[in-house]
Amino acid sequence: MSTVNGTRADGSAAGTDNDLPRAAVNLSEASQLENNFISLMVAQIKFQDPTNPVDSTEFLNQYSAMSQVKSMENMTKLSQSNLVLMDNLQTLTAAGLVGQEVKVRVESLELDEQPIDGQVQLEFASGKTVLRLIDANGQKTEIQLGPQVAGSVDFRIDPKALGLRPGEYRIEVDTESGETPQVEVAGLVGKVRVSAEGPVLEVDGVGSVPFYNIVEFGPGKTAV
């Protein structure tokens, strides 16, 4: 199996607050605050000095200020509800990817004996394109991709054919134009795990991948 390094997925242990069911947002707090304010205002009017009554415009200003506070509180609560809804929708979307092929951005892999298919995204044409794997000791293995036009360039990493030992490898791509293209690796989603930073997908041949690292998904040629 291969794992992506340098991602935000921390693999934190279960049992944290993030594993608890999402609580419903209570929108009654602002109304309760407003009711308390009105009660205090009524008491202020009731017990004011009759020889020196409070200006009515002051009460109106206070009530207006309270109404603005209530509106801001409601907007905050609604924003929180929307964030929870978006988070839940993202989790449901990720769960629906189980058994499908996805492509994810990678900067390094941990290779075993299984071949890995991927793509390099070129913005400019290149007369010479080289994909380079660098192991923990700095040893470099190059895969010549040849001249390429702008667009997607397919490649396959076969550890056995390349004589690569299992382990961690950084990926670099050299092009004649000097750009640093994005590298994408394909694999099937085996399962989805919920973490503090959102859903994390277990991708065959890649490992744990945060949902935001997915660049493409759908039934592919390796899908079952």
**Topology adopted by domain 101-218:** Immunoglobulin-like (2.60.40)
Residue for token digits 């934190």? 12
- More confident: 126 or 42: 126
Q: What are phi and psi of 97, to 5 degrees?
A: -85, -5
One-letter amino acid of 60: L
Percent with pLDDT over 70 in the chain = 73
Mean pLDDT of the chain, nearest integer: 75
Q: Which of 41-45, 136-140, 197-201, 213-217 has the lowest mean pLDDT?
A: 41-45
pLDDT, mean of residues 119-124 = 91
What is the structure's pLDDT at 114? Answer: 85
What is the structure's pLDDT at 187? Answer: 79
pLDDT band at 44 (very low <50, low <70, confident <90, very high): confident
Residue 118 has pLDDT above 60, yes or no: yes
Residue for token digits 């070129």? 122
The candidate with the shortest Cα–Cα distance to 182, out of 201, 146, 155, is: 155
Residue 15 has pLDDT above 90, yes or no: no
Mean pLDDT comparison of 7-16, 119-128, 203-212, highest-scoring range: 119-128
Is residue 68 helix, strand or coil?
helix
- Joined together, the tokens standing for residue 208 give 């744990």
Instruction: Identify the H or E element spanning 75.
Output: helix 56-95
Instruction: Report the alpha-carbon angle 181-184-187, nearest 5.
Output: 175
pTM: 0.54
pLDDT, mean of residues 167-194 = 86
pLDDT, mean of residues 99-121 = 85
What is the structure's pLDDT at 8? Answer: 46
Question: How many of the other CB atoms lie within 10 Å of CB of 214?
Answer: 20
Residue 186 has pLDDT above 70, yes or no: yes
Instruction: Identify the H or E element spanning 207.
Output: strand 207-210
Q: What is the pLDDT of residues 74-88, one digit of tens each?
A: 787 777 777 667 766
- More confident: 189 or 217: 189
